[in-house]
Amino acid sequence: EAGVVQSPRYKIIEKKQPVAFWCNPISGHNTLYWYRQNLGQGPELLIRYENEEAVDDSQLPKDRFSAERLKGVDSTLKIQPAELGDSAVYLCASSLGTDTQYFGPGTRLTVL
């Protein structure tokens, strides 16, 4: 069974540029999560989807971050414009309902 797929794995951009990350969850998993992991820290939830509905986006900085999961399967997280402080690893996870979360390999973003 394929795991959670994320792309790209690495991204380097200059500040004020836009960037997007893509995630394809495990087949059949209706719940999808985006996390941000700063260096030396644990992951912090940005947004959680149940099917196509964002049910928890309280930690998403909505002035520059946006996410979508239009058909309730894959998802895109966007930052526009990026700031230096956005440099981090962005992790996607999925689960069947509220069961155990399974994580993708992440996208390492460097903002110069």
Which stretches of the chain bind another protein, using CB under 8 A? 4, 6, 31, 40-45, 48, 56, 91, 93, 95, 97-106, 108
Minimum CB–partner distance for residue 29 and another protein (Å): 12
Task: For another protein, give the closer residue by CB, 79 or 104.
Answer: 104
**Token pair for residue 32?**
């999808």
3 state SS of 38: coil
Alpha-carbon span 72 to 77, nearest angstrom: 14
Question: Whole-angstrom Cα distance, residue 94 to residue 16?
Answer: 30
Query: CB 33 → another protein: shortest distance, Å?
Result: 8
